[in-house]
A and B are shown apart, each in its own frame.
Chain A
Amino acid sequence: MRNSIISWKYFLAAYLIAVPAMSETTINIAGWGAKSGPLRSFGVNSQAIIDAAITRVNENGGVTLEDGTKAMMAVEYYDSGCNAEQGIAVARKVASETNALIGIGPTCSGVAAASFGVFQKKVDDASDTGLQMALLTDTAVRNGLAKISQWTFRNTPNEPDMYDKLFAWVAENRPEIKTIYGGTETDQGHSAGTYSKVIVQAAVRHGFEWVNGPIEGVNGTIVEGFKNVLSSSSNWLMADTNFSVQARAFKKSGADMFIVSSHPFTTCGFLKELYRQKGMPKMLVGLTSSSSAETMKGCSKQVEGMIIPTSFAPITDAAKEVAALAEANGGAADLHSAAAWENVMIIKQVIESVGITGDPANLQDERRKIRDGLEALETTEGLLGTVSRVQDEGEALKPYVFVQAQSGNWEVIHDPR
């Protein structure tokens, strides 16, 4: 009998050593993005994947706290629309009224540009009372946003690098393509900014010629001559529904390659009109955000052949699994939403490396620890491979592939990893 009790004691002690105690603490994070408006699908997809990632972390025992105990993670997702005021309001609410350690979001670059501005610019600046909670963006992708504040970080693809490599690849593999023409939705920060400051410059850098002669000031350097790029192009607005004039201008240009830099709603509207006018070019290049299921749902026939660089495609086991989990949660994995999975895993990694108690009394100190932990990261593991962190800018350099619309799917046509 006595021997039996002793063996139970040993068994219990061994169990307690082997399995860390489960803490009562919950680690809260917040997410926000466009869950309403024309870009609603972006928020829905991000939330679906954040939920899936949190579930996965919790299924695996949760996150390890400073004292070695385990805590579950929880997320609250807010709708910031694609509206700067709404985004700022959500950021303020989360930072001041919740005990979320960190945020993930927002969707739109315009919202990010405005709301990053209400965060403290430089840490430890006592004269700046801006929000002091780290934010790790999954979607807003316009170039260079994270450096607005030292509290804001992004895990978004590096578009200048991606388009540079894309046009280098096109120049090498499609030598018959010589001339370009394009347009964008001018009231959307990401579409217009990336088009006029990054894409056209990258194309010019690799020897492609603007169809009506060189655009003044555009020499291949990022940002240079961007106003002239916009005035030389045929553009539209996010809410536009009639693209006859723009499609005719594209067709009339006779360029070998058309650049269509807009979100799925207007990309489809424009391409339908171009298709109707029988103005399809030899090659179509699109905006990163258009490599989504939304575009395929709206105009799979008209988008056929479009090439887009993207930081997500279901080509690894991990990426395939995330795509399946997203679908099971009512969303879709794309270059934006898939980053949300990586973000949750990065947050878990940082929490475990910096040592967090999860005690609400230490909230502000621990938010700071998380920020410092994020800044210190040199690499993270992404779904397509290792992601390098640009530490002083808070940005990421992610692996990417080139996809092409083929028979209703985005197929990988080049994998430069």
Chain B
Amino acid sequence: MVITSVDVIQSIIDGILYGSIYALIGVGFTLIFGAMQKLNMAYAASSIAGAYCGLGISAVLSLNLLVTFFLGPLVGGLIGILVYLVCFRFIPSREHLGSLMASIGALFLIDEIIVHETDGSPLNFPELGIFSEAYFLVGEFGFRGDLIFVLIVSLLAMTSIILMLYRTKYGLAARAVSQQMNAAILCGINPHKVNASTFFLAGVLGGLAGCLAAAAVGVISPLLILPLTIKGLIATVIGGLGSIKGAIIAGLLLGGFESLFLLVRGVNERDIYVFLLLFLFLVFKPNGMFGSIIDRD
């Protein structure tokens, strides 16, 4: 089939819209990295677990399924605190590898718990009401209503996070702990409380991302965990570790590139090019698009 410029632009539009989910996950990774200079590999798994729990609680209590979209982020936040306590709180801060490995363990543990409880079977997830089948045509280009909704919610959530970080006392404390923990302690800030709050906040964001991703697909499945972990990490690295702005832009661009590679090279080669992109950034621009300077040996 001949690929026209309309196809190329349309696939990029589709990808960017879907990339808003990667951006949300990327922002979560970044928040935690910014706070502790550590990667929480269990982040995407916690996000999907939050969405699962939200769905489960709604079903058990016979609540309106739309309540899932509030319960999911809340439980995601609580799981975030749990991951912090298990994988980060009691591991000495200089032991970066220790907490990294612990969070990888948590990733597999959460994945296994989900698979065990659901037998790995996909579950229907409430769709986004009128947005789920909406499709807007602008000239020759089409826009998925549900993904526009996801993009708007993502942008609102990310704006809220930025405002919290730069306009509230919590944000001031979080930035202080991130920049110089000892000085923050001397100023009376409890770094553990601040870090736990950051994990909760990131977890809420992740739970929301998990719910939105599942709603966009119409089902929730453990199969979502690994791709979201990988794509979220790639968005974080390409955007620059610790940069929220970078994670947002990189997440959207990553979605666009992924979709473009799919169009041009097909599904079997799609991920090769996405990983190549990550490789190129790591080699030629290791600090990402907006990250702080990383010195090379």
Chain A residues proximal to chain B, CB less than 8 Å: 35-38, 40-41, 81, 186, 212, 231, 234-242, 244-246, 248-249, 252-253, 265, 268-269, 272, 275-278, 297-299
Contact = CB atoms under 8 A, between A and B. Distances in A.
A36 B221 CA distance: 12
Contact of B18 (A35, A186, A244): A244
B101 interface: no
Contacts of B218: 268-269, 272, 298-299
Nearest to B217: A241
Interface residues of B, number: 33
B259 A241 contact: no
A222 B122 CA distance: 34
Interface in B29-62: none
B135 interface: yes
B122 A248 contact: no
Given A36-B119, A231-B266, A272-B218, A245 B259 contact: yes
Contacts of B122: 38, 265
A108 B124 CA distance: 23
Contact of B121 (A38, A186, A234, A252): A38
A265 B121 CA distance: 10
A240 B267 contact: yes
A299 B266 CA distance: 26
B266 A244 contact: no
Contacts of A277: 135, 142
Interface in B8-40: 10-11, 14-15, 18
Nearest to B121: A40
Given A37-B120, A248-B7, A241 B142 contact: no
Given A237-B267, A244-B18, A298-B218, A252 B223 contact: no
24 contacts: A37-B121, A38-B121, A40-B119, A40-B120, A186-B267, A237-B267, A238-B223, A239-B224, A241-B213, A241-B217, A242-B14, A242-B18, A242-B259, A245-B263, A248-B10, A249-B1, A265-B122, A265-B219, A265-B221, A269-B219, A272-B218, A275-B133, A277-B135, A298-B218
Which of A239, A245, A246 counts the most chain B CB atoms within 10 A?
Answer: A245
A35 B120 CA distance: 9
Contacts of A249: 1
Contacts of B15: 244
Contacts of A245: 11, 14, 259, 262-263
A269 B217 CA distance: 7
Interface string B204-219: 0000000001001111
B14 A253 contact: no
Given A269-B217, A275-B133, A297 B124 contact: yes
Interface of B: 1, 7, 10-11, 14-15, 18, 115, 119-122, 124, 133, 135, 142, 144, 213, 216-219, 221, 223-224, 226-227, 259, 262-263, 266-268
B144 A244 contact: yes
B274 to A, nearest CB: 13
Contacts of B14: 242, 244-245, 248
B144 A186 contact: no
Contacts of B266: 231, 235
Given A36-B115, A242-B18, 6 more contacts: A40-B119, A186-B267, A234-B1, A253-B1, A269-B219, A277-B135
Given A38-B121, A241-B216, A248-B7, A276 B267 contact: no
Contacts of B115: 36-37
Contacts of A234: 1
A228 to B, nearest CB: 13
A241 B121 contact: no
Which are the 3 A-B pairs with shortest beta-carbon distances? A244-B14, A40-B121, A37-B120
A237 B135 CA distance: 24
Contacts of B133: 275-276
A40 B221 CA distance: 12
A240 B120 CA distance: 15
Interface core residue of A35, A242, A248 (most chain B CB under 10 Å): A242
A272 B119 CA distance: 24
Given A235-B267, A245-B263, A277-B142, A38 B223 contact: yes
A272 B131 CA distance: 13
Nearest to B116: A36
A215 to B, nearest CB: 12
